[in-house]
A and B are shown apart, each in its own frame.
Chain A
Amino acid sequence: MISEQLLRGLREHDPRGIARAISLVEENDPLADEILSSIDDSLVDQAMVLGITGPPGAGKSTLTDRIISKYRSQGSRVGVIAVDPSSPISGGAILGDRIRMMGHALDKDVVVRSMATRGRLGGLCAAAGAAVRILAGSGCSVIIIETVGVGQSEMDIIRLADITALVLAPGLGDDIQAMKAGLLEVADILIVNKADCAGAETLAMDMECIAREGGNKKNTTQVCMTTASEGKGIDELLAAIETVDASHRESGERRTRREKAYDLEVLDWAIEMIKPSIIEKIENLGHARKGAPRLLASKLLGQNNLG
């Protein structure tokens, strides 16, 4: 009956119900199945998932705050999943992305959820993907995933997005740094934030060059300049998002990405589900740690009837 109450809460956009549902799924609770299967798939299909990534301090959260305001003024209900890293030592995390978005705290149609990476081997995509579904199911038509663009798991969750925007700012390194990142290849929109700062024009020109280079996804990459702290360039950014979205829908790219993201989520859930039993086996071995770990791993999986 706790689940019934919860499912009703979800349907009725109750903030507590939504928050609780995300927690239960994140904790891999037995109720997760019931929660996720109650969600209307068509809402998930219709929602636009926007990924915002970039180095620390580029202005992702401030920009997200401004993007929320624009979508809200158009009447859309907006969900935000803000991912911050967990400490590999303590497992704890400071989730501070909300600070920039507190202006929306009392708006019932802005649902912000902070999520820590929890240093897991996989699982983050599964949890974030499930959170996207829950937010979509609770009526959010625009869902923003914000994450620092470093590390494999962060890169993976960005692949859950229909459209990815990379936020850069002048003063965070030269164009060679940007080329290194590997993020440029996945970005549909390159945002030069802090456009009022010295070096922004040069950075934007470098980004234009990169966007116009042949190999970069049929040259649909857009470059935008914003000053998020002053709300400048946000209209142009939203127009760029719309352009990319329209072209992705037309070319079938949106569908392709959704399918890839789906497969990724399934894989991540499978790993997440199988992990506890493997961990248990390792803990119960009581073996001397000798020989190649690989051999023991295949033995364990063999016992698991998976080898």
Chain B
Amino acid sequence: MAEQKKTYRVLIGKPGLDGHDRGAKFIARALRDAGFEVVYTGIRRTPEEIAAAAVQEDVSAVGLSLLSGAHMSLFPAVVKALKNSGAGDIPVLGGGVIPDEDIALLKEAGINAVYTPGTPVDKIIGAFRAACETQKSGRN
């Protein structure tokens, strides 16, 4: 009958100058097909723009995709921009071409999870769902 399960809203964004959005669009579609409402910001956004959009759209998680190698500065910058907007409770997940040794550092910098090419999509969707659940329950 009617679906009673919660509809989660997430934002997928691409910070920085990297214009390769195949991965971001793939994840956006996969999330849509898993029942998420996905706000897509398009390419070449500043961390501040992504944070402002996440706040206005009241999303429960932000997903970032980056292939340029600038993840060490841009991913934490989004986390910081969210904090500055009073939205530090919104988890940030990252994906892209990211060396293993950077992943631990990114997690230390407040990134919820980081996924590299080859990760099964179900795992990523599961991570978004878990992150959304945590964010929502922390709020209500």
Contacts and interface: CB of A to CB of B under 8 A. Distances in A.
B41 A99 contact: yes
A19 interface: yes
Interface string A61-98: 00000000000000000000000001101111111101
Interface string B25-46: 0001101111111111110010
A71 to B, nearest CB: 17
A292 interface: no
Interface residues on chain A, size class: 20 to 34
A112 B57 CA distance: 7
B56 interface: yes
Given A93-B32, A94-B32, A106-B48, A112 B56 contact: yes
Contacts of B48: 105-106
B49 interface: yes
B85 A90 contact: no
A217 interface: no
Interface stretch (B1-9, B72-80, B114-122): B1-9
A94 B38 contact: yes
A127 B66 CA distance: 35
B56 A111 contact: yes
A114 B28 CA distance: 15
B102 interface: no
A118 interface: yes
Interface residues of B, number: 31
Contact of A106 (B37, B41, B52, B57): B52
B69 interface: no
A106 B48 CA distance: 7
B91 to A, nearest CB: 16
Interface of B: 1-3, 7, 9, 28-29, 31-42, 45, 48-49, 52-53, 55-58, 85-87
Given A106-B48, A275-B2, 15 more contacts: A15-B56, A16-B86, A87-B32, A91-B35, A92-B31, A93-B38, A94-B29, A95-B40, A96-B39, A96-B42, A102-B41, A102-B45, A105-B53, A279-B2, A283-B1
User: Which 9 residue pairs spanning A and B have beta carbons closest together?
Assistant: A92-B32, A19-B58, A99-B42, A105-B49, A23-B58, A95-B39, A91-B35, A92-B35, A93-B37
